[in-house]
Structure 1
Amino acid sequence: MGGGAMSRQEDGIDWDDAYANAAHIPGAADYPSRWAEAAAAFRAGAFGECDLPYGHHPRQRFDLFMPPGAPAGLAVFVHGGYWLRFDKSFWSHLAAGPLARGWAVALPSYRLAPEVGIACITHDIAQALGVMARLLPRGPIVLAGHSAGGHLVARMICKDIHLPETVAARIARVVPVSPLSDLRPLMRTQMNTALGLDEPEARAQSPVCHTPRPDVPVVIWVGGAERPAFLDQARWLAAAWPGAALSIDAARHHFDVIEGFARPDSPLTGALLDAVPT
């Protein structure tokens, strides 16, 4: 299969619709402005620093929010948007849950397709983790990401990712939320015109095609009201990675499944932080 978009109706499946979230969520158009408003309000009252660089590109920046006192560890949230859109500024409020539990929280932006491919975006997150770990050199690191961000945090514990061992050894848990774990179906969508995936690249960048580090607990989280394709993606990762837990959050769809990170007592924040040695 080539890098361009393929027929939308291949195998009798409308692949664009299968991976379309907004068309199936009531009021979907209102969510980005609500996220941005909540994120800006959070930043206005939070202690931390924004736009810290981890590279030279304008998008290679992260925000870091700090709790009172010494942090229990570092929680990193990586945003979604099919590697095509959004940045860290939409999601600051999702730091509230871990922050209230005494964790520092970092949220990176990254370069987007079609300017770069998914391999480069994956490298951005690995590079960001190295810089974050140097800023906070003690304590565990937990990773969470949504959709494309779920893919990116899952990739961080694949054995082909060359993190410094001092960083990799600190990763204590990974929570991919609604992750894209097998990128091969995306070759059949129109978005592949921008993503530029072919068969070798899709396999190379798919967490389901890799072996994860065996010592890192993984909790795969997905909404029960999500598109069947995203439920499949979550189940495929759980099946491919022995020992990974799968949690289906009933009635949650792709846009509200991450809201729990804004609350310290939510099951989603608990999945990220509970029982992590600090």
Structure 2
Amino acid sequence: MDWDDAYANAPYIPGADAYPERWTAEAAKFRDQMSAAGQARLDVSYGPTARQAYDLFLPEGTPQGLCVFVHGGYWLKFHRTFWSHFATGPLARGWAVAMPSYDLCPEVTIGDITRQIATAVTAVADVIDGPVILAGHSAGGHLVARMCVAGVLPETVAARVQHAMPISPVSDLRPLLNTSMNADFRLDMAAATAESPALMQPIDIPVTVWVGADERPVFLDQARWLAKAWNADHVTEASRHHFDVIDALKDSDSEMVRTLI
């Protein structure tokens, strides 16, 4: 089996190269609009490095609660500023939306990133009252799932989490040992096991695992493994691939947003 090909998304998505540029432009426009309306708090630090910061988007009126969206990119690339516009759906339903970025491999390990996201969720939960919902895509789906394991979030924060939605998550990191990406991940079997949500017991948080029906077979497997291990709800959305499966977050009436909220 060619493991690098198995975990490669872009070669199997028509027009894949155009997605990052489009995401960046739409996200920048959204931030400008939210800033002009006085509904954005940008580049709020939660840790000692430049990438340990979050953007917070506020609805009109008192927030119903806090939604945290964690971006993907195989723990190797991207930044919160690619995804700002995906806050649109939860915002329209009255939720504040925080989007953290984090340090990337190989400068840090995946375990380090897990701890950074826990710190980010805790920091923004100190700012916004009420229930917390967590969503993350791809590597971000892994990180959101890790928040659902005992001892990752402080108990007072974990008790506020009413739903988590790992979208196209990597839930078992052991197969990544076979990829060339592991030169940057620096995983051995022990580290991969220690960061695999599908091999862990979740705390009492409702979880919905979401994946696109047109994704690579390994991502369908990864979603299924997590849903089975955690006895979680499992949605396979028709006609969606790894890059457009999160588009529904922009629509407050979409099944994804209604399920998340």
* Match runs of 1:94-133 below 5 Å: 94-133=86-125
Q: Aligned pair 1:19/2:19, yes or no?
A: no
Measured in 2, the distance between the counterparts of 1:228 and 1:167 equals 35
Q: Aligned pair 1:248/2:236, yes or no?
A: yes
Measured in 2, the distance between the counterparts of 1:82 and 1:229 equals 14
* Match runs of 1:120-269 below 5 Å: 120-136=112-128, 138-161=129-152, 163-214=153-204, 216-242=205-231, 244-269=232-257
Measured in 1, the distance between the counterparts of 2:168 and 2:122 equals 25
SS of 1:225's equivalent in the other structure is coil
TM value normalised by structure 1: 0.92
Deviation digits for residues 67-99 of structure 1, max 9, x if unmatched?
111000000000000000000000000000000
Deviation digits for residues 44-79 of structure 1, max 9, x if unmatched?
111211100001100000000001110000000000
Query: What displacement does 1:213 show?
Result: 0.5
Query: What displacement does 1:160 show?
Result: 3.9
Residue matched to 2:53: 61
Measured in 2, the distance between the counterparts of 1:170 and 1:204 equals 25
* Amino acid paired to 2:229: A
Query: What displacement does 1:119 show?
Result: 0.4
SS of 1:152's equivalent in the other structure is helix
Residue matched to 1:5: none
User: Among the aligned pairs, what percent are the same residue?
Assistant: 57
Deviation digits for residues 224-262 of structure 1, max 9, x if unmatched?
0000000000000011102x0000001100000000001
Measured in 2, the distance between the counterparts of 1:166 and 1:186 equals 33
Measured in 2, the distance between the counterparts of 1:188 and 1:200 equals 14
Deviation digits for residues 150-181 of structure 1, max 9, x if unmatched?
000000011242x2221110000000000000
Structure 1's unaligned 5+ residue stretches are: 1-12, 274-278
Deviation digits for residues 198-230 of structure 1, max 9, x if unmatched?
00000000001110012x110000000000000
Residue 18 of structure 2, aligned match among 27, 30, 42: 30
Measured in 1, the distance between the counterparts of 2:199 and 2:216 equals 22
SS of 1:247's equivalent in the other structure is strand
* Amino acid paired to 2:228: A
Deviation digits for residues 113-148 of structure 1, max 9, x if unmatched?
000000000000000011101111x21000000000
Q: Aligned pair 1:81/2:69, yes or no?
A: no
Q: How many residues align?
A: 257
Residues 222 and 231 of structure 1 are in contact (CA less than 8 Å); yes or no, is this contact kept in structure 2? yes
TM value normalised by structure 2: 0.97
Structure 2's unaligned 5+ residue stretches are: none
Comparing 151-160 with 226-235, which one deviates more in the overlay? Answer: 151-160
More relative contact order in 1 or in 2 (CA 8 Å, sep 6+)?
Answer: 1
Residues 50 and 62 of structure 1 are in contact (CA less than 8 Å); yes or no, is this contact kept in structure 2? yes
Q: Aligned pair 1:43/2:31, yes or no?
A: yes
